[in-house]
Structure formats: C-alpha cells, structure tokens
C-alpha cells in the first residue's frame, strides 16, 4: 500500500495520459515501483523512456500502465495538489516582510508565507534556505535541480540572523557552499534596507557572492517595499535619491569588476533604483540576458526595446501591407486609455507618444494610479487594487477601451488583489476593459486595437 496517493485533477488533451485512459479522480501510487513524495520526485522519475505507472481507480482497483516515450516527454497529468505535498511555510520573521505589512480582511491565501524550495524551481520563488533540511538539499543535488533562487539579504551571518529574526539564518548560508560545490546553478537576491544591509554591508555581500561564480549566475538588489501598514513593525526608512545613487554607484563598480574577471555583469539593480536616482536605465547588454526579469530587473528596458522594435516593424508593414497583414485603422479617430502603476507610467507615456506620432488618429491616455490601498511608496503595478483603479478613474472619459496590465490579476482568474472582480470594475467604470500581456508588442497591438477593430 502506498503511503502517499496523488489525485489526478485532469489530463491534457492528446497527451500520453489521456491516450492511456488515465482520468480525473485516479490516484497515482508509484512510478517504476518508486513511491512519489512530491512533485520533485515525480518530474525526476518520469524522465525515463520506459515507465510503469501504478494507478488506483476510484473503485479501489489498481492498474499498471507500461509506457514507452521520449526522454523529456511529459505525461500530461495535472494533479489536484500542484506540489503533490503540503506547502512549507516560512519560519522567519523578517524585518522587511511585505506580508506583515498588509491590512486585515484580505483573502487567506495572501497571508501565507511560503519558504518552499520546490516553488523556487516551479515558479521562480526566492527561498531563504532556513527551511531546507539535509534531505531536501541532498535531493536537489541528486536530481541536479536548477536554478534555485536564494534570498541572501546579507552574507554577514550575525546581521542575517537579525534581519530574518532567525538564529539559524547565518548558519543556513553554508548551504550555498554545498550547492556551489555540486555545481547547482543559483540566483541571489538582496532586499536592501536603509542603514542596515546597505553601504559597507552591501559591498561585503557582493564581494562574498562573487566567489560562487559561475554557479551563482546573478544577484539582484531591490529596495525594501514599505506599505502604510507598519505599526508595531521594525522601523524601516525609505531610500532617498542620494541613497539610490550610492547603490547604483556600488552596483556599477562591481559590474565592471565582474565583467573584467568573469565576463558577466553578475550584480544587477532593479528598475526602481534608476527611477529613484533619476538616472537613465542601462541598455540591454547590461542585463546578461534578463536573468532576473521577474524580480523587476530590466523589465522596463525590455518593454521599451520590444515596443520600439514592434512599432518600427508595424510602420514598415503599413507602408506596403500584404494581403494577410494587419495594419491599424488610418481613417477614424480612436481614443484608448491605459492604467498602470506610478513606477512604469512615465515610460508608458513615452511609448504612447511614439505611437501617436506614427498613428496620429489614435489618442492614448495614460493614467498613473496612486496606490492608496498600500500607500504611495508602493509604485509597482502588480500591487494595485481594483478599488484604487475604480476610485481614480470613475467619471473619466476612457474612450473605446481601458487597458490594464496582466499582473494586476490573480493568476488564471479575473480578480484583483482586493478581491474585486474584473466584471465589477467594468460595471463601475462603465467601460470596456482589455488585459494586456507583458511584451512590448502586446502593448502596441492593444493600444492600436489589433484584436478589437
């Protein structure tokens, strides 16, 4: 009898699992006589070209499925529990934790603090390593799972214990040594707190982390996010313009050192630092292939470049369109609105102006939404709520459509961070709303109504 059973939620159409007759409600018991502890075991074991799946049907009957497939071919099974195990919660009490800065009354899942290394591989989450047992570490090495994203914060053991409020946090840094010795690729993150791990401590951390090159592929430096709900929490202060310039000076100096010694920039500042310092964003070459894009490193630069490239290509097409080519309407007047966070708004305005110069019959209005829910210091679009968008746009003439970035919505659902639904916002604003994907081309086509007109 298997100790762990994993319930099938669905099978992908045309997949191996569907062809075999594996159905929702079936229970996976084992692969090649190996019981499956969690998703890491599952993905490692199904790589084999010859498999035997042990499956229990809803009536209790057990079946064996013999499979021959390509080495990396997936079976097409989605399980009811994505991790195939319980999620591991965080045992730290970090002085900068954003979840501690959220108001009461939001949905329960938003208060769950994960520190699960499996989510690092599956979703790109950053983990502190304090929750990782020897067994977990050995599995990562044995399966050669990579990359693992690590919230370093500082390489000063005593300071790390203080910042994470965990007396084992300094000792956990030694796990980086073991990952390095076994050739496991890593990415690091430093959440910078003013007067705590910046200045000389930041210099120390960067210097220490360069020793893990090339397996430590990159390290990002991001400013701590401070909401208005900090009563009773550690007294953290926001960074000023001069602070941001000092951080960027440190980052640039170490980038030069790393390029000379290792051929990579290695250390990267998130976009917020450049905006706060009122300095120009670096070019594409500075981002080493945008390794930490999801961490806000190079996101705006990539958007700008993709948009301009797509705009030039569209203009060339519009001059001499083929029979199947789409080109924007040249006759009627079109008005489009776009709402985004205050961080990205100036850049979106620049792109909108470029677009309107090329297609003057389009009017594109960009609305920078102030984050009243979490506080004005939070400027990223991903933390905007439906109620702030509603309050600041209600009564405004929004034109044919309101465009919103996709990161405003809960993954796979039409619901905002504050549980307002997309349908409710449409009703409140009496406007059509389109959700825009993240690429520059998607933004351009949405502005010009490729899928609307």
Q: Is the peptide bond before 214 cis (omega within 30 degrees of 0)?
A: yes
Neighbours of 398 (CB within 10 A): 22
pLDDT of residue 117: 82
According to CATH, the topology of domain 301-448 is: Rossmann fold (3.40.50)
Domain covering 99-296 assigned CATH 3.30.70 in the classification = no
Query: Which two structure tokens, joined as six digits, stand for 208?
Result: 């220490």
Mean pLDDT of successive 10-residue stretches along the chain, which has 453 residues = 85 95 95 92 91 94 94 92 86 94 87 83 88 92 93 98 97 97 97 98 98 98 96 95 98 98 98 95 96 93 97 94 90 94 95 97 97 94 96 96 94 90 97 94 95 66
Within 8 A by CB and 6+ apart from 410, the residues are 416, 417
Within 8 A by CB and 6+ apart from 274, the residues are 244, 248, 280, 281, 282
Which CATH class name applies to 6-79? Answer: mainly beta
Phi, psi of 347, deg, nearest 5: -75, -40
The CA distances from residue 18 to 6, 49, 230, in Å, are 17, 18, 51
pLDDT of residue 2: 60
pLDDT of residue 1: 56
Residue 219's nearest CA partner among 240, 201, 202 is 202
- Specify whether the CB–CB gap between 209 and 152 falls below 8 A: yes
pLDDT of residue 105: 85
Domains 6-79 and 99-296 in one fold: no
- Specify whether the CB–CB gap between 176 and 184 falls below 8 A: no
DSSP 54-66: EEE-TTS-EEEEE
Q: Where are the domains of the chain?
A: 6-79, 99-296, 301-448
- Specify whether the CB–CB gap between 269 and 255 falls below 8 A: no
Neighbours of 370 (CB within 10 A): 16
- Specify whether the CB–CB gap between 185 and 217 falls below 8 A: yes
Neighbours of 235 (CB within 10 A): 7
Neighbours of 326 (CB within 10 A): 14
DSSP 273-295: HHHHHT-PPPPGGGGTTTTTGGG
pLDDT of residue 453: 52
């Amino acid at each position: 009898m298997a100790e762990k059973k994993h319930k099938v939620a669905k099978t992908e159409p045309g997949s191996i699992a569907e062809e075999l007759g594996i159905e929702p409600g079936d229970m996976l018991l084992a692969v090649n006589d190996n019981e499956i502890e969690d998703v890491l075991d599952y993905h490692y074991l199904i790589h084999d070209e010859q498999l035997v799946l042990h499956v229990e049907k809803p009536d209790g009957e057990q079946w064996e499925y013999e499979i021959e497939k390509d080495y990396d071919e997936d079976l097409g099974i989605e399980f009811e529990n994505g991790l195939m195990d319980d999620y591991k919660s965080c045992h730290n009490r970090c002085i900068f934790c954003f979840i501690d800065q959220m108001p009461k009354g939001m949905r329960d899942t938003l208060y769950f603090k994960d520190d699960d290394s499996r989510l690092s591989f599956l979703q790109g989450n950053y983990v502190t390593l304090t929750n990782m047992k020897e067994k977990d570490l050995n599995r990562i090495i044995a399966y050669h799972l990579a990359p693992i994203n690590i919230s370093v914060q500082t390489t000063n053991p005593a300071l790390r214990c203080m910042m994470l409020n965990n007396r084992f946090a300094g000792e956990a840094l030694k796990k980086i040594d073991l990952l390095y010795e076994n050739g496991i690729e890593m990415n690091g993150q430093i959440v910078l707190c003013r007067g705590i791990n910046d200045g000389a401590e930041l210099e120390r951390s960067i210097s220490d982390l360069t020793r893990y090159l090339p397996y430590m592929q990159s390290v990002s430096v991001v400013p701590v996010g401070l909401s208005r709900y900090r009563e009773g929490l550690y007294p953290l202060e926001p960074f000023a313009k001069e602070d941001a310039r000092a951080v960027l000076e440190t980052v640039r100096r170490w980038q030069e050192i790393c390029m000379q010694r290792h051929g990579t920039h290695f250390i990267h500042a998130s976009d917020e630092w450049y905006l706060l310092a009122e300095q120009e964003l670096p070019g594409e070459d500075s981002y080493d292939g945008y390794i930490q894009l999801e961490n806000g490193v190079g996101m705006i630069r990539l958007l700008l470049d993709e948009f301009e490239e797509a705009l030039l290509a569209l203009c060339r097409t519009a001059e001499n369109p083929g029979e199947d080519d789409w080109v924007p309407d040249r006759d009627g007047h079109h008005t489009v609105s776009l709402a985004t966070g205050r961080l990205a708004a100036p850049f979106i305005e620049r792109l909108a102006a470029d677009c309107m110069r090329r297609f003057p019959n389009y009017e594109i209005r960009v609305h920078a939404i102030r984050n009243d829910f979490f506080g004005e210091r939070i400027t990223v679009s991903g933390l905007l709520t439906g109620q702030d968008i509603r309050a600041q746009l209600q009564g405004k003439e929004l034109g044919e459509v309101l465009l919103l970035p996709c990161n405003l919505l809960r993954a796979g659902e039409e619901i905002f961070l504050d549980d307002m639904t997309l349908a409710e916002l449409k009703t409140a604003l009496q406007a059509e709303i389109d959700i825009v994907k993240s690429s520059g081309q998607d933004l351009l086509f949405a502005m010009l109504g490729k899928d609307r007109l």
